[in-house]
Structure 1
Amino acid sequence: MQGIFLGILGLGVLATTLWRVFTQTMPDATLMGLFGIVALVVNVVAVLPLMRFLNGDANMRAVWLFSRNDAIGNAAVVVTAEPVAWLGSGWPDLIVAFGIAGLFLHSSWLIIRDAQTDLRATR
């Protein structure tokens, strides 16, 4: 279920990003940076204790991947805020959003694969 949820989230990010490509909405770079920094700090604090479960069962790995993805996404938003402000364009944000969607979809596949492996091992 976690893999399916993350896959749906990845598809949602992809759909929203595609919509933003066609509507060309401009993000607020200051808010991007501010919220990105706060969220990054929270996610890094949450990820650190989870690192020991990196090689655990499918559920623990899923929790790790969710947290890791959040931290990567937040770091990408922080880094992207400056080019958005400097260029006066939303394209850097859109490029990062496509990358985040890909990261979510890839992690979804990993979670589903790990769950299937765990299920086969218990049979």
Structure 2
Amino acid sequence: MSCECGRATATTRAERKTLRIALVLNATMFVVGMAAGLWAQSNGLMADALDMLTDATAYALGLMAATRGIRFKQYSARWTGATLMLLSVGIIGDVVRRFLFGSEPLGTAMVGFSLLSLCVNVTVLRMLAKYRGGEVHMRASWICTRADVVANFGVLASGLVVLATGWRYADLVVGVAIAIYVAKEAAEIWREALNPAERSSALSER
């Protein structure tokens, strides 16, 4: 029994260390990304930066949940999913605003920041990969980061299109695509959080 408790404690410490690093990286990238998005007039960049903020929130919730019971971890994952869904709605609203009032996104800034953001998110995703089949709060963090990586590729592609052609609507198209994908990830997190006890039992039997 003491061996099992010691192993669980070590796992919890490792989870918390990973989440703390991920939280600092994403909070920093949110500030940098929002500044870049406002300067570059890019919906895609701002959506990506807001996704970073959502991830930072998910990591903070995960930190609080790490030493709590299964019910708290379930609520933590649900809040993460709800935050992602709100983000999706906000992105769509900004796309509509920029479509109606116009914008001139800067392709160079979009490409530069998306590459930096991609490096950060791939690093965090690799750190969280070992927990992807674990408890619900850690899986929610992994799903959020996976969504960021996909968003980074989308912003990079739209930045290259804007840079090569000047077609500003590429930025808006990617903004809508990111919003849809984020909503899908939110739904997945909610499904995962419905009954984490059963999921943990199934994983332990494998």
Q: TM-score by structure 1 length? A: 0.90
1:25 to 82, 103, 114: 103
Q: Which has the higher contact order (CA 8 A, sep 6+)?
A: 1
Task: Determine the structure 1 residue equivalent to 2:166.
Answer: 88
1:68 to 137, 140, 146: 146
Q: Secondary structure at the match of 1:56?
A: coil
Instruction: Point out where structure 1 has 5 or more consecutive residues left out of the alignment.
Output: none
Counterpart amino acid of residue 116 in structure 2: V
Residue pair 1:25, 1:90 contacting (<8 A) in 2 also: yes
Q: Tell me by how many angstroms 1:121 deviates.
A: 6.9
Q: TM-score by structure 2 length? A: 0.55
2:120 to 39, 42, 60: 42
Percent sequence identity over aligned pairs: 27
Q: Tell me by how many angstroms 1:117 deviates.
A: 2.1
Over alpha carbons, which structure has the higher Rg?
Answer: 2
Counterpart amino acid of residue 115 in structure 1: A
1:102 and 1:57 map into 2 onto residues whose CA distance is 26
Q: Secondary structure at the match of 1:55?
A: coil
For residues 13-48 of structure 1, give each alpha carbon's deviation from its aligned partner in whole angstroms, at most 9, with x where no partner exists: 111112111122121111001111111111111111
Q: Secondary structure at the match of 1:103?
A: helix
C-alpha root-mean-square deviation of aligned residues, in Å? 1.7
Counterpart amino acid of residue 53 in structure 1: Y
- 1:98 matched to 2:180? The reply is no
Instruction: Point out where structure 2 has 5 or more consecutive residues left out of the alignment.
Output: 1-78, 201-206
